[in-house]
Amino acid sequence: MAEEEKKDSKSKIIIIVLIAVVLVLAAAVTLVFLSQNNSGVESDGNETVLSSAAVTSTEDKNPLILDYDGSAIALNADDLNKMIDQQKVDVGEIALEYQNIALSENGTDFSCHLANSEKNTEDMFIAIYTDATYAERIYLSGLLAPGTVIEDFKSEISFEPGVHEVVTVFTTVADDHQTMTGQISVVVKLDVG
């Protein structure tokens, strides 16, 4: 009977060791899998790997959903920048290019950087409002072709010295220049000093 207990005890130890080995192997496989599927920019010294993300808006509680749609390999920083610059957005999507602050000495003439990015495929116009009610517009651009930059604008109202938040609306239009295809608004600060 003592021999049977020794055999049972040895069997239990072997089973425990086998379970531990299986768990360690499962953890190692999981770590390898997670490290290979890591998104973003990685570098191994020779190559830079970029996973690009497309941003799409939805009407639910989360206004932005990031969806990975592919990856590219660039051998150096210049190649990586060229690949990023060559990416165009689809109709109805807008690539934004702007600085979030505009400067003025007199409260009406502002220096800024508001642009229709080269990545866009459609013309756009830009409107600036005093707040999110869109009740008082302070600036309306003409049509801007992709790659066009506004470096200064004259406000329709005068702002007192200080920092003021305004709502800037980027609107893309179809080739008929009457049909709006996309629109997004951002907050820009006007610094009058």
Summarised one tens digit per residue, pLDDT across range 87-115 is 666 666 788 899 999 999 999 999 999 99
DSSP secondary structure letter of residue 95: -
Domains assigned to the chain: 39-87 (no CATH), 96-192 (2.60.40.2550)
Mind giving me the DSSP string for 62-79?
A: -SEEEEEEEEEEESSHHH
Q: What angle do CA 90, 100, 117 make, to 5 degrees?
A: 25
The answer to whether 105 and 86 have CB atoms below 8 angstroms apart is no
Amino acid at 158: S
Q: pTM of whole model > 0.75?
A: no
How high is the pLDDT of residue 95?
A: 86
In this predicted model, what pLDDT tens digit does every residue of 118-166 receive, in sequence order? 888 899 999 999 999 999 999 999 999 999 999 999 999 999 999 999 9
